Structure 1
Amino acid sequence: MPLAQPTAFPAEPDAWPAYLETTIDSALDDARALLARLKDGTARTATEVLDLWNDADVAIATASSAAHLLAEVHPDAALRAAAEERAQAAEDLVTQRGLDHELWQVLAATDPEGLDAAATRVREHVLRDFRRAGVDRSPEDRERLRALAQRCTELGLEFARNIRDDVRTVRVRPEQLAGLPEDFLAEHPADDEGLVTLTTEYPDLLPVRTYATDPGVRLALTREHQRIGWPANEPVLAELLRLRAERAALLGYPDWPTYDAEVKMIGSGTAIADLVERLDALTAAASAHDVDVMLARYREDVPGATAVTPADNLFYEQVVKSEQYGVDAREVREYFRYEAVKPGVLGVMERLFGIALERVDAPTWHEDVEVYDVTDGGRAIGRVYLDMHPRAGKFNHAAQFPLRPGIAGRSLPEGALVCNFPTGLLEHDDVLTFFHELGHLVHEVLGGHQPWAMFSGVATEWDFVEAPSQLLEEWGWDAGVLASFATNAAGEPIPAALVERMRRADAFARGAWTRRQLNFTALSYSLHADPPVDLASFTADVDARFGPYAPVADSHQYAGFGHLDEYGSAYYTYLWSLVIAKDLRTAFTDGLMDPAVGRRYRETVLEPGGSADAAELVERFLGRPSSFAAFEAWLAEGTTA
């Protein structure tokens, strides 16, 4: 069978509605027909049954991935809405399939004898997922579970839409932008009323929080950012939490985290709570020290200041790093011009993993999107799309979206990198984000050559998926790597001495940063473990315990906490994966660009996709089980800086 051709997007705007019908709708129709065939009474071997199941998986993944991506990035609001309806339809089909008693009986009746290891793993996972969907419950319970899952999907899409569409603004006088870099000021001229409009999008938000000397401006924009999605998402989130709890109870679990964690590396809801307590003990003292240092410096500017809030922390982090570590963020950003960073970061990935990215002229959903074919030794192995700058109606964070599942011998994997970087100078944090999200994209492509759809691409346990991306952030701290593309306007590479100062300065506020992540982890977990009646007061209680910063008054950050949809109770994933990433880093003993280690990492961790448990993949690469040691050493660096 020849490989399927890459996705062909419409070249004309008026062709998009038909595209949705001929791709997403037809793929869902194919999936329904394949599932119906499985129940037609024909005698089939276990291999034949699993092959049909896999074909249906491919069709559903094709439809779902395209629908979810276009719902977040297409410039036309009506098209986004139409794509969102199809994303809902794809999720509903997955729910219906999981609760189809007749279909379950067909799969359960298969004889595993004679199946190879990969097919046996597929069969085990399919039957496990049927059980977790509730297929063995009473007809009445199955119908309620179906309705609950469908409603949760609707709520999740609404929650994400409310965040995506809620771009807020503040207007300030030009003199209130003191401290902002010259290029930022040039891009933000005053209007006819003599005022400058700032938005809550990242290219405005992060520079203002980092450089604006006026605390009132920082506070105003930060407060608006923390009110994104509110009040619309207040009832949406409350209902979503309540219905997830009901689903877990109907399935025989004490709470949602217990149900959700069963199929993740961490294994149980109580293990999440234990992780929170362990990290609480590791970060409390270091975080308090970091905040005390920032507060002392804050009081030099504002005598009587009583607390550091999220409107202040980035500003005073960079002030301390400038004054005590000799790192001026304005100087650093001069070396990170987007036009040089993009090919530079892509080039690092090419050299590290032995791949090539070749620009392709092909239609996409927007003229800013770039298309690249990924090749290995001249052989095409995937296609990627880079949608890198903000625009109205677009997903407003940074993420990798799968577009098309890669299936060995049938189709090549495709994925999209969706970011919101400025077109000029980047912050160093933007460069780290680029490496991070590109890590997901590389994982999608290199892991996208499995025969089974459920194990192809970024298909490991969900609490491992961030580890490869967090590992790749390390390349953004390496002097040699950065010098290969980070140059100022005169073409001079970033000095190694500056990078070393950046590394030392990065240790400052490490405890506070980790504590902030722990705050989100605890909130994500505890909201689901015992859904509260009052979201605002509950969030305030979590803030009071974990901080590390005083909350901004009259803000509702939980309403814009998008991970509560996709990650649910599992935001702990970021810290859990960071522990693993720091351990993976220890294998690069001869430098980060060691091609032999890069190849081994590619082959043992990325290429297998989900064909083996993540703990096994890590052990294959390290030659031992993963441990906390490297993470604890990294965290301790912050206490001695």
Structure 2
Amino acid sequence: MTDSNLSPLTLPESDAEAWVADRTDTELARAAELVATIKAGGHEGSALELWNDVNIALGNAFAVASLMSNVHPDEAVRNRAEAAEQAASKLLTEIGLDRELYEVLDAVDPQGLDDAGRRVLTLTLRDFRRAGVDQDDDVRARLKELSERQTEVGQEFSKNIRNSVLTISLDPGRLDGLPADYVEAHAPGDDGQVTITTEYPDYVPFMTFATDRDARAALLHEFRNRAWPENDGVLEELLTLRAEQARLLGYADWPSYDAEVKMIGKGSAIPEFIDRIADAAEAPGRRDVAVLLARLQQDHPDATAVDGRDGSFYAEVIRRENFDVDAQLVRTYFDFQKVRAGLLDVTGRLFGIEYVPVDVPVWHEDVATYDVLRDGERLGRIHLDLHPRPGKYSHAAQFDLVPGIRGRQLPQGVLVCNFSKQLMEHDHVVTLFHEFGHLVHHVLAGGHDWARFSGVATEWDFVEAPSQMLEEWAWDHDVLKTFATDASGAPIPAELVAKMRAANEFGKGYYARTQMFYAATSYYLHQRVPADLTALMVELQAKYDLFGYVPDTHFHTSFGHLHGYGSGYYTYMWSLVIAKDLFSAFDPDDMFDTTVAHRYRDRILAAGGSKDAADLVADFLGRPYHFDAFEAWLQRPPG
């Protein structure tokens, strides 16, 4: 192995709280010192190069603070990381409102820069103006207050979701339909009752397989009420703060401000996109809901509609009965250890990279660490933190640990998920491929000189597209047979995978409608900031979702994406439109074709944020992206 001259950041073996404090304090102090140097003038090197150093230091501080606040098992460390995140956000706000700094950077002559430098300068000056640097002193002071308070409130919103693990207690006899390993893992307590939590490894199998409809309803009720009522007021304050910030900056509302720097371009285009997808999904969605309802009525003749307690369960029944796909049989081919190893093998073959296990200090014994090599050279390091535990981020996401900068620091990323340690549902395998797409994007795009281009640095409504495209490899038999084997070692049969693919087509219309309900909730809560958040959420569900509202529930209080994505949850479907178009360049009969995969690696992933996303896609496809592949997929009947 030929090592690069750079060494990865090493985590501490003990006293993580002190390490987090030192790492973040040092980087923030360096950022502040560099800003002072830029403003003082007379320094060696260009102001823009020093500005790049500021952003490297800020990125280092934010990465450690965000990661450790979400994953570290010690609450004291999480709290210290949250404090660091607040300090980093405060400094970022101060820098963004620093008129003297802005004037120095605005005076940089773009003619003396190369194309990359001019792009960085243009985006930098735009960001300063969007921060409010050109506003009067009173407005800038209020913008600073708003930004700092948003950080605090956003952290509280996310923490409440992380800490809200609700439960139901059941007689063991009510676990009928669940896999044997699930039942075995849920032994009765001293009271003779079985406890089922709202954590995903408990919740997803229960809602998919449990035959007890009332028990499903009880668990769904708890799941939809996570972080209620505490997050209702927290979210209302967050929305109000964002609305005021947008108005002070001269925008009609937060979506108008937020969308300006995304592919979609303007806030008013968001509801147009939502309605376009909802209309396209109307017919296929209602077709499949009718199939669900007819099957539900065989068991419950009085049922008049399908709701959340029945959707996953009867979708599984349909797939089993109509498509001959038994998810409990399917999961016997997806042992977690084999899936993890297979994921690394598949993506290694696809992108021409290698993962070498390394034994280094981490924050929890469940974390597995690998160096990422290409042609013997270490590109970066990844950490896989894939199982649930108390206080940990409860969804699935990729977090930065170190942003990569060519010749200066190796990229490190962390995959944070919540999967079973035994058998996995295939849906979770797909999720793992998806999230790993972000991780490999972070590492492969870690070789830029400019911090602005490093990692997953494209417009926010494009970042999901590469990961959504990578999901396709989790549905291909030639790919799956390399790691999906049962207890005897027999690979998953091609006929079963073909049936799984056909069955997966069932429900895509109502899935798209549900996604548009989420997107509409994200948009309209920010666009209107209603007095009654629940009432607007119920109204939007009735308009967009093909499943009914669960009475006395409050989905919005645990909709964690309202913090990170703000008004832009539409981006998941926007990205899926592009992902389907990207995949059209690949040969579905040869998923390991490295010619196409390497072109994709180099022109989309490794490019990071060096170009606008639309230009990256055009570079890869040889044309602008369009809706054709997505609409064809959506309209195609299952089977």
TM norm. shorter chain > 0.5: yes
Instruction: Tell me the secondary structure at the aligned position of residue 619 of structure 1.
Output: helix
Q: Does 1:234 align with 2:212?
A: no
Encode CA deviations 1:542-566: one digit per residue, 9 max, x unaligned. 0110121011111101000000000
Instruction: Tell me the secondary structure at the aligned position of residue 312 of structure 1.
Output: helix
Q: Does 1:444 align with 2:442?
A: yes
Q: CA deviation at 1:155?
A: 0.9
Which residue in the other structure is 1:606 paired with?
605
Encode CA deviations 1:369-391: one digit per residue, 9 max, x unaligned. 11100000110000000001111
Which residue in the other structure is 1:628 paired with?
627
Q: Does 1:128 align with 2:117?
A: no
Equivalenced residues, count: 635
Write the mapping of 1:64-463 to structure 2, written as runs, cut at 5 A: 64-463=62-461
Measured in 1, the distance between the counterparts of 2:224 and 2:477 equals 35
Encode CA deviations 1:502-557: one digit per residue, 9 max, x unaligned. 11111111101111111101111111111111001100000110121011111101
Which residue in the other structure is 1:26 paired with?
26
Structure 1's unaligned 5+ residue stretches are none
Range moving further from structure 2, 90-99 or 300-309: 300-309
Measured in 2, the distance between the counterparts of 1:11 and 1:190 equals 37
Which residue in the other structure is 1:8 paired with?
10
- TM-score normalized with structure 1 length: 0.98
Measured in 1, the distance between the counterparts of 2:450 and 2:43 equals 22
Encode CA deviations 1:82-103: one digit per residue, 9 max, x unaligned. 1111011111111111011111
Instruction: Tell me the secondary structure at the aligned position of residue 389 of structure 1.
Output: coil
Measured in 2, the distance between the counterparts of 1:202 and 1:43 equals 53
Q: Which amino acid aligns with 2:598?
A: R
Q: Is the 8 A contact 2:17 2:76 kept in 1?
A: no
Give the share of equivalent positions with the same residue, in percent: 52
Which residue in the other structure is 1:500 paired with?
498
Q: Is the 8 A contact 2:21 2:84 kept in 1?
A: no
Which residue in the other structure is 1:597 paired with?
596
Instruction: Tell me the secondary structure at the aligned position of residue 111 of structure 2.
Output: coil
Structure 2's unaligned 5+ residue stretches are none
Measured in 1, the distance between the counterparts of 2:303 and 2:498 equals 32
Q: Which amino acid aligns with 2:157?
A: F
Measured in 2, the distance between the counterparts of 1:311 and 1:413 equals 43
Q: Which amino acid aligns with 1:371?
A: T
Q: Which amino acid aligns with 1:468?
A: P
Measured in 2, the distance between the counterparts of 1:567 and 1:250 equals 21
Encode CA deviations 1:101-132: one digit per residue, 9 max, x unaligned. 11111111111122000011111011000000
Measured in 2, the distance between the counterparts of 1:229 and 1:50 equals 44
Instruction: Tell me the secondary structure at the aligned position of residue 325 of structure 1.
Output: coil
Q: Which amino acid aligns with 2:578?
A: I
Q: CA deviation at 1:3?
A: 4.8
Q: Is the 8 A contact 2:166 2:223 kept in 1?
A: yes
Measured in 2, the distance between the counterparts of 1:577 and 1:610 equals 16
Measured in 2, the distance between the counterparts of 1:359 and 1:263 equals 39
Encode CA deviations 1:319-377: one digit per residue, 9 max, x unaligned. 01111111111111111110111100110000000000000000001111111000001
Which residue in the other structure is 2:48 paired with?
50
Q: 1:3–1:239: structure 2 CA closer, same or farther, 3 Å change rule?
A: farther
Measured in 2, the distance between the counterparts of 1:21 and 1:636 equals 53
Range moving further from structure 2, 15-24 or 194-203: 15-24
Encode CA deviations 1:46-73: one digit per residue, 9 max, x unaligned. x610111111100110010011000000
Measured in 2, the distance between the counterparts of 1:36 and 1:115 equals 23
Q: Is the 8 A contact 1:222 1:311 kept in 2?
A: yes
Q: CA deviation at 1:42?
A: 2.5
Instruction: Tell me the secondary structure at the aligned position of residue 599 of structure 1.
Output: helix
Q: Is the 8 A contact 1:212 1:218 kept in 2?
A: yes
Question: 551, 554, 557: which one pairs with 2:555?
Answer: 557
Measured in 2, the distance between the counterparts of 1:543 and 1:39 equals 51
Which residue in the other structure is 1:59 paired with?
57
Instruction: Tell me the secondary structure at the aligned position of residue 331 of structure 1.
Output: helix
Which residue in the other structure is 1:510 paired with?
508
CA RMSD in angstroms comes to 1.1
Q: Which amino acid aligns with 2:7?
A: Q
Q: CA deviation at 1:147?
A: 0.6
Q: CA deviation at 1:485?
A: 0.5
Measured in 2, the distance between the counterparts of 1:634 and 1:222 equals 30
Q: Is the 8 A contact 1:405 1:411 kept in 2?
A: yes
Which residue in the other structure is 2:37 paired with?
37
Q: Is the 8 A contact 2:21 2:80 kept in 1?
A: no
Q: Is the 8 A contact 1:3 1:411 kept in 2?
A: no
Measured in 2, the distance between the counterparts of 1:77 and 1:22 equals 18
Q: Which amino acid aligns with 1:18?
A: A
Measured in 1, the distance between the counterparts of 2:5 and 2:231 equals 43
Which residue in the other structure is 1:571 paired with?
569
Q: Is the 8 A contact 1:3 1:412 kept in 2?
A: no
Q: CA deviation at 1:4?
A: 4.5
Q: Which amino acid aligns with 2:24?
A: I
Q: Which amino acid aligns with 1:464?
A: F
Q: CA deviation at 1:275?
A: 0.3
Measured in 2, the distance between the counterparts of 1:304 and 1:132 equals 56
Which residue in the other structure is 1:470 paired with?
468
Q: Which amino acid aligns with 1:628?
A: F
